[in-house]
Amino acid sequence: MSLATRNSVASIELSQATAGAMAKMALLALTLLSQTAQAEPYVWQLPQGMQPPAVPADNPMSTAKISLGRRLFFDIRLSGPGYMACATCHKPELAFTDGRKVAIGVTGQLHTRNTPTLANVAYLARFGWAQPKSEPLGAVDS
Ligand code: HEC
């Protein structure tokens, strides 16, 4: 198999693994959030002059969601083989990157790109700079 083919297979497998992890995370989040009685509103702590990111009116931020998101971000059980979390690649101590030239997926295969920082991603209308025509994230596309 050529390097280009192997890289695109690795890319697809990484995408599938990440999509699988995100699906599991979304299900877990829904289950846990539906068990949360009254959610406390979240108070943004932003540098002076920065506006909070857009938030859908029917899905407001809450301290429970922030806390759940933080836990899920570090939970290795969300990966297929059970040893990789979002934070394995998006390391907080490395500005949410992994410091590598290209990311390594759960199967050990190399991605074609490096792990981008997640700083300020809440302000992005779309995730995935390489797919500029991807569907925008609804409420934040205005
Ligand atoms: C194996 C390493 C790895 C893991 C694990 C991983 N990511 Fe990523 N992440 C990447 C790479 C590589 C990209 C860039 C993909 C591309 O450009 O094709 C990316 C892109 C992103 C982006 C888009 C950033 C932008 O600027 O568009 C977000 C958001 C993101 N990841 C969040 C997550 C979350 C949440 C998890 C856990 C569910 C996660 N990632 C798990 C490597 C990883």
More confident residue, 37 or 126: 126
State which of 18, 27, 118 you would mutate to test the pocket of ligand 1, scoring each by most atoms of that ligand within 8 A of its C-beta. 18
Q: Which residue lies with its CA nearest to atom 39 of ligand 1?
A: 86
Within a domain: 21: yes
CB 86 within 8 A of CB 117: no
47 falls within a domain = no
Does some domain include residue 97? yes
CA of 7 to the centre of ligand 1 (A): 16
Query: How much is the pLDDT for 44?
Result: 93
Looking at the 3D structure of the chain, how many domains does it have? 1
Within-domain flag for 26: yes
Q: How far is CA 71 from the centre of its chain?
A: 13
The predicted structure's pLDDT at residue 37: 46
Q: Place 142 in a pLDDT band, splitting at 50, 70 and 90.
A: very low
The verdict on residue 48 lying in a domain is no
| Residue 45, domain member (yes or no) | no
What pLDDT is stored for residue 19 in this prediction?
63
- The CATH number of residue 68's host domain is 1.10.760.10
Whether residue 137 is contained in a domain is answered as yes
Query: Residues 6, 109: contact at Cβ < 8 Å?
Result: yes
Output the CA 66–ligand 1 centroid distance in Å: 18
Structural domain including 131 reads: 3-36+59-141
Ligand 1 centroid–CA 38 distance in Å is 31
Residue 32 lies in a domain: yes
- Number of residues assigned to the chain: 142
- Residues 1-53: tens digit of each pLDDT: 555 555 454 455 555 556 666 666 666 666 665 555 457 889 999 999 999 99
Place of tokens 């500005």: 95
Mean pLDDT of the region 74-101: 96
What sign results for the dihedral spanned by CA atoms 32, 33, 35, 38?
positive
105 lines ligand 1 (CB under 6 A): yes
CB atoms within 10 A of CB 103: 22
E strands, the chain, in order: none
